[in-house]
Amino acid sequence: MKLLLLLYNGRLTRTVGGGEKVFCEFANEFVRRGWEVGAAYDAFGDAPPVFPVDPRVRLFNLNGLKRPPLSLGAAKVLREATRPLRRPPFLSFCPNPYEVARRRLVRPKLDALLNEFRPDVVVPFSVEDAETLFYRRPSNNFATVLTTHNAPDDVFRRASSARLLKTTLERCDVVQTLLPSFVPAIRALTSTEIVAIPNVVPQFAERVDVERREHEGSPRVICVARFDKRQKRQRLLIEAFAKIAPRRPDWNVFFFGDPYPNARYRDQLVSLVAQRKLENRVFILSSTPRIKDELLKSDIFALPSAYEGFSLALTEAQSLGLPTLGFADAPSVNELIVDGENGFLAADVDDFAQKLDALIESKELRARFGAAARKSVEPYEATRVWNRWESLLVETIEKKRR
């Protein structure tokens, strides 16, 4: 069978984000399972994807231009001018001018790809990708399974307009979401079949050994997330740590994240660290391909996000046996972290600081939470998750053919 993955609106060649990682792993897994796999994306230039891709996967760059054309620059200006008309709660019918311009740009290549590759099923990796797939395409003879990678509010926020969002969801054969708790919000917008399938979590053989870490010294808190003011909110961890840093002189905080496209926010975090006089205690670092090694050198994983879809960084930290800390009102985080069992959930920054301090104080608590964290991610083992995906794709293709 032929599978085409579509990540038109991603940054496959420039970032190490979770969606981009899942896209490449999805392609690699299904080509190993004997499927003919195409992976279509949108990037200026000819740089390869950041994550490794099996050579048997057929890569299609729908753009390939060396630089953006002037028409896209004009569309960006118009997008900002019309932004107030596209805000939630999705009362607007105004499409995003920039996305429309991008779709016009790649439509000939996408049409040629679909005619040549003839997929049995297409998996767009976002609502915007599905909009691009259906743009000026009145019908299609392939099945479509839309996969989403964040909490529903964020997924809906990225749609071009309220009308187009509903139309796009209805045209899909299936909409996949990451957690069962996300289903009702999507169900309120569409009658399309909705299936909850989580991300894959590696089941690492290695684990953080609390006793060994104590002998190694240099105890530290780690946060792995792209630098993002609205969602990831690294500032809150800095503020919380500043409250307890004077009485915990041996502890440090390490942030690892992709600065693109939020270099300004990263610079603001550096300034905040200086203001709090924590330059030798809090370190703002770029993402690294050796993040597992950095996690194994850490003692606590803290994620101050406002919301998540299914955080790969959080669950990989749990798989390595790190105790975790997040906010109680953060969707997904407040399901993956079970308060008092595999980590703590905080009500506000003061509570975050207090619970971080409690984890720092007790190595027994860190060991207990870490062991429970490893156990909590076992249901997300790769074979289980990919088997569910393969069953879903095969069933959807068969239904489409009837």
Q: Which of 10, 58, 60 is nearest to 30 (CA)?
A: 58
Asked if residue 33 and residue 175 are part of one domain, the reply reads yes
In a domain, 205, yes or no: no
Asked if residue 16 and residue 133 are part of one domain, the reply reads yes
In a domain, 342, yes or no: yes
User: Is pTM, for the whole model, over 0.75?
Assistant: yes
Neighbours of 243 (CB within 10 A): 16
Asked if residue 364 and residue 396 are part of one domain, the reply reads no
CATH number assigned to the domain comprising residue 397: 3.40.50.2000
In a domain, 77, yes or no: yes
Q: Where are the alpha helices (DSSP H) in 276-348?
A: 291-296, 312-319, 333-336
Range of the domain at 189: 2-200+381-401
DSSP secondary structure code for residue 339 in this structure:
B
Neighbours of 284 (CB within 10 A): 19
Asked if residue 282 and residue 179 are part of one domain, the reply reads no
Residue appearing with tokens 């792209």: 226
Give the C-alpha separation, 317 to 301, whole Å: 7
In a domain, 324, yes or no: yes
Query: What are the phi and psi torsion angles at 13 (to 5°)?
Result: -100, 0
Rg (CA), the chain: 22
CA 238 to chain centre: 22
Asked if residue 226 and residue 183 are part of one domain, the reply reads no
In a domain, 331, yes or no: yes
Residue appearing with tokens 């942030």: 255
Provide the domain count of the chain.
2
Are 250 and 214 in contact by the 8 Å Cβ rule? The answer is no
In a domain, 329, yes or no: yes
Are 106 and 136 in contact by the 8 Å Cβ rule? The answer is no
DSSP secondary structure code for residue 47 in this structure:
P
Give the C-alpha separation, 336 to 360, whole Å: 21
- Cα atoms found within 13 Å of the Cα of residue 4, Cβ hemisphere only: 25
Which amino acid does the sequence have at 233?
A: R
What's the pLDDT at 334?
Answer: 97
Residue 216 buriedness (CB in 10 A; 0-12 / 13-18 / 19+): exposed
Q: What share of the chain is helix, strand, coil (3-state, %, to 5)?
A: 45, 15, 40
Asked if residue 178 and residue 300 are part of one domain, the reply reads no
Distances (CA, A) of 304 to 140, 149, 314, 322, 339: 42, 18, 11, 16, 15
Asked if residue 289 and residue 354 are part of one domain, the reply reads yes
Asked if residue 304 and residue 237 are part of one domain, the reply reads yes
Give the C-alpha separation, 29 to 400, whole Å: 23
What's the pLDDT at 66?
Answer: 63
Which amino acid does the sequence have at 319?
A: S
In a domain, 114, yes or no: yes
Give the C-alpha separation, 198 to 326, whole Å: 19
In a domain, 170, yes or no: yes
Asked if residue 175 and residue 71 are part of one domain, the reply reads yes
Residue 255 buriedness (CB in 10 A; 0-12 / 13-18 / 19+): buried
SS3 assignment, position 283: strand
Asked if residue 280 and residue 142 are part of one domain, the reply reads no
Please list the rounded mean pLDDT of every run of 10 residues in the chain (402 residues). 88 81 96 97 83 95 73 73 65 68 83 95 94 88 94 80 86 96 94 96 95 91 95 97 96 90 89 96 92 96 96 96 98 97 98 98 96 97 98 97 85
Asked if residue 37 and residue 184 are part of one domain, the reply reads yes
Asked if residue 333 and residue 258 are part of one domain, the reply reads yes
Encoded tokens for 230: 């609205």
Encoded tokens for 20: 């981009």
Give the C-alpha separation, 47 to 336, whole Å: 35
Q: Provide the β-strand partners of residue 143.
A: 121
